[in-house]
Structure 1
Amino acid sequence: MTTAFARGLHALSLSGAVLLALGLAGCAAPPAPSSTAALPFEQAVAQATDELLMQTQKGPALLARLGARRGVVLDPMIDADGAQQTVATQRLQDQVGERIQAKHDAFEMLPFRSANLGKARYLLTGTMKRLSTDEPHSPLKIELALTELGSGIVAAHAAAVARDEGLDATPLRYDQDTPVPNKDPVIESYIRTTATPTGQHADPYYLAHIAAAPAIQEATTLYNAGRYEDALAQYSGAGETPAGEQQLRVLNGIYLSSTKLGRTSDAEQAFGRIVAYGIANQQLKVKFLFSPGSTEFWPEPKISGPYAMWLREIARRSTEVRVCMDVVGHTSHTGSVAYNDSLSLQRARYIRQRLIGESTALNARITFSGKGFRENIIGSGTDDAVDALDRRVEFRIVDCAERPGGVANAG
């Protein structure tokens, strides 16, 4: 975090300092517990939003005399299961923001821009998560948190349970297109921050990387709007900063924007960086789309066209650093357990064979296994863009020293 940015976070006015004392004075007393009953979505959002902001309003009379409004910036909300933005999470954040503006005059919603991180009092985060991935229409837990930017303390936390009635879980365009899910340490720390109880410190890793978040979100908005040249410039700029350099959202964004612009060589280099990142972090999850019930890739070139390059880069990078890994196949929640166990194993074997075709040195370094749908992330069983993360192949880096006798499942 830069010195200038740190000064911005701590530059509170006199009235702001008084309000901070008022807002945190009652943190020792826990807030009223959130309802655990599943509510209609709009009602659940309203309940969580109102509870969140009421926790900060300890001195309304003084607030009115000062005429002060507390600035809030909203880091876009995500689906905590898939670590992605969806139509439903977009609806969540829109409704939270609209309710704050309409019902809570003490707060002012500010655009999520770098300059406003130094002006706002609070950083608002939010997640949605299914209570059970084994039930396609399981209720959803909504969590919201307000982090005081100056102190890094979570000033308020609220939760509610919403019924899944007509919610659209389709990922937004960028999240549909990413070859590798974005659940990296920054996203994981965002999720932990949103679940942090009132009065405790937000996740320090999240706060240490917040400086790059507005630029990354602006790049993603540009990508979703089809403005790929502008998106690439924004992602590249974010990647040149210490806070954004090693974020999967940036690496994926550079790859996707380069691909859309037809810059094949740049896209291949960008994907190689994604693979190197995954290897360095011991796990790489890749969204290969297969034809239903088959080990053949989806025949549409727009979708599976890059797969040969993906496999080539995975093989090349793995060979260069001499890693050992287990190729793990996964399927969506459709069909019997036995069928999906067999299918996921066949697909993992196929990927292994393709990698060895690229580099025979990997023959003794790669095992394969199948998990069926036992490790679903989404669990919807829709077999479309919603549960694409469930139909993935993982490359789990393992210790080669544990394989002195050769590789199991090698044939």
Structure 2
Amino acid sequence: MMTTTFARWLQAASLTGVLSLMLGLSGCAAPPVASSSKTELPFDQAVAQATDGLVKQTQKGPAFLAKMGSKRSVVLDPMVDAGSAQQTAATQMLQDRVTERLNAKFETMEIMPFDSANLAKARYLLTGTMTRLSVDEPRSPLQINLALTELASGTVVAQSSAVARDEGLDHTPLPYYRDTPVPTKDRVIEGYVRTTATPPGQHADAYYLERLAAAPAIKEGTAHYNAQRYQDALAQYSAAGGGPTGEQLRVLNGIYLSSVKLGRTAEAEDAFGKIVAYGIANQQLGVKFLFNPNATTFWSETRISGPYTMWLREIARASADAKVCMDIVGHTSHTGPVAYNDQLSLQRARYIRQRLIDESTVLSDRTTPSGRGFRENIIGSGTDDAVDALDRRVEFKIVACS
């Protein structure tokens, strides 16, 4: 719904053209990354170091030594950026490079397609993340984390990392993540991120593993969406959502986006209502709004801003029904003067608050606006495009009602 027009906007927008709205106790920032003493390497060398380190650990582990006569079947849950919870061109490259090296150098490792049948019979699960070491420095180094988990026991049997220079890497989100109205970092993705950094011998994140059964359908739905096969995408997301572990933001987002692309307005509105309900129940929700450059009015193109009235109505209704109180905190990307960004972030927080009050007057006594400028960036690139859209957000932080 915002492909060609959105691309044209990205080329023309100024530093403050996009704002996203976040609801949560602590936003969607990644867990802090510990300072690494590892040598910074070119990307391909860092990938090779991390991949080789992972396999070397498996060659020493007793769980693997007992199976020396057979191939080690592995499924790979798609890799993500740990800060934004997005799949990007760079995380796709990471995943491809790791897979290529495993296939080329280690004949005992069999990387199987990530589908339900293979998940049921594979011995091991491979996960991986890319994490920027400092969001305050554009193009700061990236830490690559890889983990191999034994599916039967849920134990991480190998974990490795390396630090890559951010030279020539493309961090543009893939189409699903670019289009999604709601950032996807829920407890499932947080568990995925934790798993990739878990030391060998310890258990992978239980919440993530308990919901892994839905992941193959989510992966297929996202692949279909990225290829503009929206009917197929909707079928996969609906299949994932119909299972006992399918209530996840990625699924709800996928059903909403696919319904919009197929022109199914009623289904899309119902799906968005479920997104809001899920977010409030889990105290973590994001809804991205585009603003006109240097203004507090929504983007003028109705093909983009048309759904915003419905989004605001659903957020206001659900917030009022849940009787929650919220601090509304505005943020901007890391460009322009500090004072200007502080003021603009506050103005946009106030605007969102007023629009919600217009929908439900009871929110007047339950909401307080403030602005943080770019002090709490998630991406920190300062590129003012799709890459750092999450930095231009307003968080709704749940607080006790006085």
Q: TM-score, normalised by structure 2?
A: 0.88
Task: Name the CA distance, whole Å, in 1 between partners of 2:205 and 2:238.
Answer: 26
- Compute the displacement of 1:289 (Å): 1.7
- Compute the displacement of 1:67 (Å): 4.1
| Inter-CA distance 345–56: structure 2 relative to 1 (3 Å threshold) | same
Opposite residue 136 of structure 1, the aligned amino acid is P
Higher relative contact order (CA 8 A, sep 6+): 2
Alignment correspondent of 1:82: 84
- Compute the displacement of 1:288 (Å): 1.3
- Compute the displacement of 1:66 (Å): 5.9
Alignment correspondent of 2:206: 204
Alignment correspondent of 1:172: 174
Alignment correspondent of 1:256: 257
Contact kept in structure 1, 2:135 and 2:380, CA below 8 Å: yes
Deviation per residue, 1:18-55 (Å, 9 max, x gap): xxxxxxxxxxxxxxxx9711100000000100010111
Q: TM-score, normalised by structure 1?
A: 0.86
- Compute the displacement of 1:365 (Å): 1.5
Task: Name the CA distance, whole Å, in 1 between partners of 2:279 and 2:69.
Answer: 50
Task: Name the CA distance, whole Å, in 2 between partners of 1:64 and 1:269.
Answer: 51
Is the partner of 2:376 in helix, strand or coil? coil
1:399 aligns with 2:400: yes
Task: Name the CA distance, whole Å, in 2 between partners of 1:163 and 1:65.
Answer: 37
Task: Name the CA distance, whole Å, in 2 between partners of 1:64 and 1:342.
Answer: 63
Alignment correspondent of 1:48: 50
Opposite residue 196 of structure 2, the aligned amino acid is T
Alignment correspondent of 2:94: 92
Question: Could you list the runs of 5+ residues in structure 2 that have no partner in the other structure?
Answer: 1-35
Task: Name the CA distance, whole Å, in 1 between partners of 2:139 and 2:42.
Answer: 13
- Compute the displacement of 1:278 (Å): 1.4
Alignment correspondent of 2:132: 130
Opposite residue 86 of structure 2, the aligned amino acid is Q
- Compute the displacement of 1:321 (Å): 2.1
Identity score, percent: 74
- Compute the displacement of 1:193 (Å): 0.5
Is the partner of 1:243 in helix, strand or coil? coil
> Paired residue for 2:150, among 148, 151, 165?
148
Is the partner of 1:375 in helix, strand or coil? coil
Alignment correspondent of 2:357: 356
Alignment correspondent of 1:270: 271
| Inter-CA distance 321–43: structure 2 relative to 1 (3 Å threshold) | same
Matching of residues 297-308 of structure 1 within 5 Å? 297-308=298-309
Contact kept in structure 2, 1:35 and 1:161, CA below 8 Å: no
| Inter-CA distance 108–362: structure 2 relative to 1 (3 Å threshold) | same
Alignment correspondent of 1:409: none
1:187 aligns with 2:189: yes
Deviation per residue, 1:149-208 (Å, 9 max, x gap): 111111100000000010000000000111111000000000000000011111111111
> Paired residue for 1:159, among 153, 161, 173?
161
Q: Please give the root-mean-square deviation of Cα atoms over the aligned residues, in Å.
A: 1.8
| Inter-CA distance 53–357: structure 2 relative to 1 (3 Å threshold) | same
- Compute the displacement of 1:65 (Å): 10
1:338 aligns with 2:342: no
1:292 aligns with 2:299: no
Is the partner of 1:155 in helix, strand or coil? strand
- Compute the displacement of 1:285 (Å): 2.3
Task: Name the CA distance, whole Å, in 2 between partners of 1:109 and 1:355.
Answer: 49
Contact kept in structure 2, 1:228 and 1:261, CA below 8 Å: yes
Alignment correspondent of 2:375: 374
Task: Name the CA distance, whole Å, in 1 between partners of 2:272 and 2:261.
Answer: 14
Opposite residue 333 of structure 1, the aligned amino acid is H
Task: Name the CA distance, whole Å, in 2 between partners of 1:64 and 1:273.
Answer: 47
Opposite residue 150 of structure 1, the aligned amino acid is A
Matching of residues 96-107 of structure 1 within 5 Å? 96-107=98-109
User: Number of paired residues?
Assistant: 366
Contact kept in structure 1, 2:186 and 2:284, CA below 8 Å: no
Task: Name the CA distance, whole Å, in 1 between partners of 2:349 and 2:162.
Answer: 39
